[in-house]
Amino acid sequence: MPYLHWETDRGRMRSSECAKKASEHKLVSVSEIVDQAKHGGPLGHDLESADDPKEHTPVVLLSRKKALGQLLFRAAVLLEDMEFHTEEQLTFRYLHEKPPLHPRRTLDQSYYGALKSTMTRDRDQVVYRATTPEQHGCLDPGTCPQCKQDIRKVPRLIMVDQLWLWILDESQ
């Protein structure tokens, strides 16, 4: 029994990549992704340069904001990886089993099963267009009201999941 749900565009792309990697049997583990996130940049250096409370120059304040931004970005990457871990493991383990795992599909993927790629069609969904920030020629994103609204938008897609039901009654 199909039912509709939603997924972020980023989550859909990660799931698709995971299925491709599982098919190739070269899946990167979440622990490797976390290690890459930990050692991805000079966060420690930025924090050390901004630790002196006597320094309140604009450069030091900017360095503190940059370090905080990097820290929050890495925390978001780690949270996303932790949430994706279970799906990654299930996909890798059961995608090619008998019976196989039935992955989530977009509306077009479920309707046009023979198409090799539906990415262009998926991004033409009404829900995707309504939840994607509009492009505009903004000169100062810090003061632009549209940029402040757009930062909260996360592109989403309608997905078709499968719900398996067993009818238990007296006749069986």
The 3 state secondary structure assigned to the chain is CEEEEEEEHHHHHHHHHHHHHHHHCCCCCHHHHHHHHHCCCCHHHHHHHCCCCCCCCHHHHHHHHHHHHHHHHHHHHHHHHHHHHHHHHHHHHHCCCCCCCCCCEEHHHHHCCCCCCCHHHHCCCHHHHHHCCCCCCCCCCCCCHHHHHHCCCCCEEEEEEECCCCCCCCCC
Condensed to tens digits (0 to 9), the pLDDT of residues 1-45 reads 677 887 888 888 888 888 788 777 544 455 555 555 556 543 333
Q: How far is CA 6 from CA 3, 45, 92, 141, in A?
A: 10, 40, 22, 29
Please give the model's pTM, rounded to 2 decimal places: 0.53
Percent of the chain residues topping a pLDDT of 70? 76
Domain ranges of the chain: 2-162
Inform me whether the pLDDT recorded for 137 exceeds 60. yes
Predicted local distance difference test score (pLDDT) of residue 152: 77
Contacts of 110 (CB under 8 A, 6+ apart): 2, 160
Q: Which residue has the higher pLDDT, 6 or 48?
A: 6
Tell me what the pLDDT averaged over the chain comes to.
75
Predicted local distance difference test score (pLDDT) of residue 5: 81
- How confident is the model over 115-125, as a mean pLDDT? 84
Residue found under tokens 């029994």: 1
- From first CA to last CA, the distance across the chain in angstroms is 20
Which residues, in sequence order, are bridge partners of residue 5?
159
Inform me whether the pLDDT recorded for 151 exceeds 50. yes
Inform me whether the pLDDT recorded for 131 exceeds 70. yes
Predicted local distance difference test score (pLDDT) of residue 41: 42
Condensed to tens digits (0 to 9), the pLDDT of residues 78-92 reads 888 888 888 888 888
- Report residue 154 as tokens: 């996360």
